[in-house]
Structure 1
Amino acid sequence: MSDERGRKVINYLLERPIHNIEELELQTKLTRRQLEYSLDKINEWLNDNGEPLLKVENNRVVVSEKTREQFFVQLEKKVPIKNYWMNSEERIKYLFLLLFYFYDDYFSVNHFVDAFGVGKTTVINDLKKLNMELEQQAVSVVYSRKEGYQLVGEEGNIRYYLMKMILWDFTEHQSTFIYDLFIEKNELTGFQETKKIVETMLQKYHITFVENRLTEFIYTFIFLKKRIASEVHITGKQYKAAAMIPMKEYQFSEELLKADGISSQGAILYVCSWILGLSIGTPDKMTKDYETIMDLVERISMRFEALSGIRFSNEEKAVRQLYAHFRPAYYRLLFKLPIINPLYSKIKEEYSELYDIVEEALKPIASLFEEPVPEDEIAFLTMHFASLCSSAEDRQYPKKVALVVCPNGIGSSSILYTELKALFPELSFIGPVETNEVEKLGDSYDLIFSTVPNVRLFYTKKLVYVVSPIMSTAEKYRLISDVYTHIGNFNFKIPRVDKLLTIIDKYTMIENKSGLEKELADYLIKGEEQHTEMPEEGPELYRITAPDMIQTGVKAGNWEEAIRLSAAPLLKNKRISREYIETMIQTAKDEGPYMVIAKHVALPHARPEDGALDLGISITVLDFPIVFGSKENDPVKYIFCLSAPKNNRHLNAMAELVNLLDDQGFYALLDSSRDPKQIYEYIYEQSRV
């Protein structure tokens, strides 16, 4: 507990009562020797405090419930441990905080030596590393005899680095330790005291934060308010004061700063923009920005539906959920505020085709902000669309009730809820809820799934499983194994992949052990039917079309005839019913040219229940382009008519189509070729690239 490595190991030990040593090595990124040293040190600490020791035997670490409780208590403490030794990464952050907060103090190397208890050479190396990190924000640490060490750069960039540092530590590691250490050592206003003030004002102005975003805001505000009070000018910020002053976020910012004697409008506008980029966007027609943001949300939703071939059954719910995320995203993009999505890599891996479609759907919006939408923002929106696209059945079983706790926001909550329902159909689920809602639920549940370890959950005396909102196949397998092990009245017990691998390895040569392990786990989780009949990624584009569904040189008199002609191959191949065609045309009459998704490109489709019989897409090239009524993208020459009986199985093919629509070579082929086989072969070859 006296260094960062020990705390990291403890964070992982909290997740489960039994751990495999090799898994712990991978999770902590420690060598076997480093891990064993940390485990020995933790046991020394437990022994000194009269707690049960970790049992390290048979390549496993076993943690008793009493020991886990003690770990929770220690990690929840806001007062840092005495005689704590910072590692290099922590010293660098602490250095930045010193220079950031005490910007008007004089600092020499000797000050840093005293603060850290290390030598001058170590401090100088830490300063060099800090400078390398600050370079990305055009900020540097500069020394002069007159002023000592100072942060030099645009004030906006300096503040941006602080925000991003706190965001990263909290979202990636769920850790505020170094900030609590700084607050304690330098006697700053504490977290709990600041939280009371902030929460009171949030209630007063009816502003809502996701639980984790509130924590990040409070810590950042503690360090930031002194610099805000200095009224250092921030260049390049274009605040629309006339639009922001009537907002409740402006009034909140004004009162919050007034409590610290800060009254300048520039400071209030700065905090207001920051709040707008963090708080949940509740659709409210009375706010001045409602029409602007709702218009963007509806455009994104319609474009996603057009590109993906998915028609949301509950449009109002979809739009409200997207609004809640997009309003703060809009202000983050507008005011260049930092965003970090620790699940970005997992989302791109697990929902790659959906990510590509969302990225394409956002391209017209990006032009408003003069730069592409950051990948982290795209990943967050992908989570929202993934939960909206889910078609998992809501089965109810009275045996056990599971509570889902997720303090990370709507996207994470929705997708975790959907994943867990698919993994555990034997359970009934309630939630998702934030941590502070758990106590209100009494004894209405049997076990808890949470995205973060929290001592309050431990005190419920229920089984607590710490999970990632986006789980890999291996993580799903491990979770199923843990749950089935601990809940005795489940009739099914999942086989262990490591045992199967050991048996296979005895009698065969395994060329790709990790690949085999993943596929075995995937098979065991999904079962025979899903594994063989419905691959997770869905079929490629070439598998859902064919030469006899590709038409060139087609003549049509108007848009309605063009849709009927484009749908004819699907009807002939019994992929759709006649009602499906009539629904597409009627929807276009009711809603306008929803299917025109790009310049000269239309993708007509309807909902599965409207007569989609089998998965398929036809491709039609018109001899003479037809006006569909789209101001931006008329006239239409290329029509891709889609039939999708299941709401998300076709997404891989649609992601491939989105990429083809950016390929000028594809259009050139469609314009020049009269041979459907040649076009089909091009599609096939592109899918293999």
Structure 2
Amino acid sequence: MTDERSRILMKRLIERSIHEVDELTDQTGLTKRQLEYSLDKINEYVTTEKGSKLVIENNRIILTNQLREQFIAILSDKTYLKGYLMNACERSKYLYLLLFYFLDDYLSINHFIEELGVGKTTIINDLKNLAIELERENIQLVYTRKNGYQLVGNEEQIRYHLMKMIIWDSTENNTVFVYDHFIEKHQIETVDSTKQLVEKYTKRYGISFVENRLTEFLYTFIFLKKRLLSLTANVNPKYQLSALIAMKEYQFSKSILIHFGIEDESARVYLCAWILGLSIGRPNDSTKDYETIIDLVKRIILRFEAISGIRFNNQELVVRQLYTHLRPAYYRLYFKLPIVNPLHTKIRDEYNELFNIVEETLKPIASLFEHPIPEDEIAFLTMHFASLCSSFDEYTTTQKVALIVCPNGIGSSSIVYTELKVLFPELSFLGPVETNEIERLSDSYDLIFSTVPNIRLFYTKKPVYIVSPIMNTREKYRLISDVYTQIGNSNFKLPSVGKIMEIIQRYAAISEGASLEKELYDYLTNQEEQTENNEEGPSLLEITAPELIQLDMHAKNWEEAIRLSAASLLKEGRITRNYIDTIIETAKNEGPYMVISKHVALPHARPVDGVEKLGMSISVLKHPIVFGSQENDPVKYIFCLAATENNRHLNAMAELVRLLDDPQFYDLLDTSNDPNEIYHYLSRKEVLLG
């Protein structure tokens, strides 16, 4: 008899041979007591040799090779479903699947009791909890004597809830267990057979899915097709665009639906819109929407460069990478499709400055969709820009080769690849690839890094390391220790942060334990280039100075305004004269790229064009000047940026972005005659922003 805790614990245990109990409780959300109980249940379920059961010893759990192989076999074999006990959350999802799929059947409490094998009181409580959850999305769970239990509400919203469930489970929870259980029990068309059909038509029409997006589509479509056959959604009028019908995604949708005997036009258009929001954008395809999307991509890149102070060297690479993400993102936003990014919070924490800059970059774009861009979508784009902003050296080696497996798409895989190259410079890397590539490359690699603990990886019999696409310093620390202990120097051992904390506590009072622990992890992993012990990079206050602030500045035209604003940086030795000339020449060739918002310009060039030291000047024109930006002219406030190669200025830029929304800041710039007053204002704002 197994349950969700046992299943999740087995999946977590096979990732490593040795687990610290405290870390395992953090990862699983179980208390130590619950963990011990689950270990006992697993020990009852598996057959082991004497002395090889799971036990906690010295606050650690050691997994033998024999147990690992058994766990892999158990998790790969669906026979243990028969004795599986669902928890309340799983039962809630299962009830929704019953109501969603058997929309024409009479469903009563007796049906639910028989289906789930639990008592009447449990089912009544489960239905109450489900009803409360659905009410938040304007869906009602209604019972009548005539029709039994039914879902009532907007059909699009009912479908949306299913999609969100599947997206969340297949990504964040990394399990489609409940859906497999339902499909197996009711002998619905299998995922494998549906996949074969879908792949047939994706090849025919040249449509590509990221591995995880394909999984989402397959499971959702299996449950959705019955409703598409018998129920018409009141689709958004935007779905009726004639341009949609001319797309290959429409032909794909039409072919798939005909296979299942569905010829309703609204179903085709609905499915087409959904496919557009899931599939990969390919910049080489001559699609009807290519010009629209590519123009949007270029606008986003230009605005990001203007706000961030970063000028990308390889524009073609940047355009291609962003196009692959932005085409489906455009349709997700346009049709208000589900957007679920389980890494949203982690991305915001680890890339806070960049997230704020990307958020500001996208503000004008939001007007296209008549609603703000969700933070989940901003986080996706932040991942792309994080990978594009990284400029690490390439390393070569004739030693170990590591394969990176990432089914989540180019944003996640680019960041993972970049992070791992820095963590393990002596390794040579293959990939990133999707899971189905591992067999083909089996002789080419020595170890695997994967963002998803897919059971198939462990069948390779090679070391497997599960990593988060966004790793904090503690996770990097653990990964370095695991890898070097297993495949590197057998004598290698990272100092224990916990032990260091214990020693410090013996001799000193610690006022901020969490901060101290994080800094110790940062230092020991040595991952951030922490110049001057400033992990986040200098603040706006640190890259400017009173001598770089000019008020009531007179200029005849935009060129003179830029030269005068940069003059203080030149005088202080932060830039060369060539840097100023490059800004002017770029503006003549590309237009007023530096005008980033109403009345505000941020002139800058690449570090190689003449930056000697990080800095920013602040200039206020006595009389505003037209720069040639129809939308934001005339310019009155000029922030001339000199950024260095390692992007350490992004923290300061994030602060500037916040300042540009502050009316008091503009009032002070307009009325003050003292640069020191401006500088002190920045100092006060820095304290307030923490």
Shorter chain as denominator, the TM-score bin is: over 0.9
Instruction: Summarize the Cα distance change of 1:91–1:50 in structure 2 as closer, same or farther, 3 Å threshold.
Output: farther
Who is 1:538 aligned against? 537
1:72 CA drift (Å): 2.5
Distance 2:183 2:632 in 1: 56
Residue 658 of structure 1 pairs with residue 657 of structure 2:
yes
Q: How well do the aligned residues superpose, as a CA RMSD in angstroms?
A: 1.6
In the alignment of these two chains, the number of paired residues is 688
Distance 1:255 1:431 in 2: 33
Provide, for residues 646-684 of structure 1, a one-character-per-residue CA deviation record: whole Å limited to 9, x for no partner.
Answer: 241100000000000011111111111111111111111
8 Å Cα contact 1:451/1:466 also seen in 2 = yes
Which letter does structure 2 place at the counterpart of 1:687?
A: E
Who is 1:184 aligned against? 184
8 Å Cα contact 2:442/2:460 also seen in 1 = no
Which letter does structure 2 place at the counterpart of 1:352?
A: N
- SS where residue 136 of structure 2 aligns? helix
Distance 2:39 2:483 in 1: 26
- SS where residue 362 of structure 1 aligns? helix
1:16 CA drift (Å): 1.2
Matches for 1:190-339 after TM superposition, within 5 Å: 190-284=190-284, 286-339=286-339
1:490 CA drift (Å): 7.3
- SS where residue 441 of structure 1 aligns? coil
Instruction: Summarize the Cα distance change of 1:73–1:203 in structure 2 as closer, same or farther, 3 Å threshold.
Output: farther
1:332 CA drift (Å): 0.4
Matches for 1:10-89 after TM superposition, within 5 Å: 10-47=10-47, 52-77=52-77, 81-89=81-89
8 Å Cα contact 1:608/1:647 also seen in 2 = no
8 Å Cα contact 2:74/2:80 also seen in 1 = no
Who is 2:580 aligned against? 581
Who is 2:102 aligned against? 102
Provide, for residues 587-617 of structure 1, a one-character-per-residue CA deviation record: whole Å limited to 9, x for no partner.
Answer: 0011111000000000000001100111000
Who is 2:556 aligned against? 557
Provide, for residues 399-424 of structure 1, a one-character-per-residue CA deviation record: whole Å limited to 9, x for no partner.
Answer: 22211111100000000111111111
1:503 CA drift (Å): 2.5
Who is 1:547 aligned against? 546
Distance 2:284 2:398 in 1: 38
1:240 CA drift (Å): 4.1
Provide, for residues 507-550 of structure 1, a one-character-per-residue CA deviation record: whole Å limited to 9, x for no partner.
Answer: 333333322221111101117x9345363311110000011101
Distance 2:591 2:581 in 1: 15
Distance 1:213 1:536 in 2: 35
- SS where residue 175 of structure 2 aligns? coil
Residue 677 of structure 1 pairs with residue 683 of structure 2:
no
TM-score by length of 2: 0.97
Instruction: Summarize the Cα distance change of 1:490–1:22 in structure 2 as closer, same or farther, 3 Å threshold.
Output: closer
1:502 CA drift (Å): 2.6
Which letter does structure 2 place at the counterpart of 1:632?
A: E
5+ long unaligned stretches in structure 2: none
Instruction: Summarize the Cα distance change of 1:271–1:232 in structure 2 as closer, same or farther, 3 Å threshold.
Output: same
Which letter does structure 2 place at the counterpart of 1:619?
A: I
Provide, for residues 64-96 of structure 1, a one-character-per-residue CA deviation record: whole Å limited to 9, x for no partner.
Answer: 223223323332345662121111111111111
* Higher alpha-carbon deviation: 443-452 or 95-104: 443-452
Distance 1:488 1:662 in 2: 51
Instruction: Summarize the Cα distance change of 1:78–1:315 in structure 2 as closer, same or farther, 3 Å threshold.
Output: farther
Distance 2:53 2:531 in 1: 46
Who is 2:603 aligned against? 604
5+ long unaligned stretches in structure 1: none
8 Å Cα contact 1:523/1:531 also seen in 2 = no
Matches for 1:159-170 after TM superposition, within 5 Å: 159-170=159-170
TM-score by length of 1: 0.97
Which letter does structure 2 place at the counterpart of 1:609?
A: V
8 Å Cα contact 2:485/2:492 also seen in 1 = no
Distance 1:255 1:336 in 2: 24
Residue 566 of structure 1 pairs with residue 565 of structure 2:
yes
1:488 CA drift (Å): 3.5
Distance 2:218 2:137 in 1: 23
- SS where residue 623 of structure 2 aligns? strand
- SS where residue 38 of structure 2 aligns? helix
Who is 2:476 aligned against? 476
Provide, for residues 111-155 of structure 1, a one-character-per-residue CA deviation record: whole Å limited to 9, x for no partner.
Answer: 112222222222111111111111222101001111111100010
Which letter does structure 2 place at the counterpart of 1:83?
A: G
Provide, for residues 238-279 of structure 1, a one-character-per-residue CA deviation record: whole Å limited to 9, x for no partner.
Answer: 214311122111111110001100112111111110000000
8 Å Cα contact 2:232/2:267 also seen in 1 = no
8 Å Cα contact 1:404/1:449 also seen in 2 = yes
Distance 1:428 1:258 in 2: 47
8 Å Cα contact 2:163/2:338 also seen in 1 = yes
8 Å Cα contact 1:79/1:181 also seen in 2 = no
8 Å Cα contact 2:39/2:55 also seen in 1 = no
Distance 2:417 2:429 in 1: 8
- SS where residue 238 of structure 1 aligns? helix
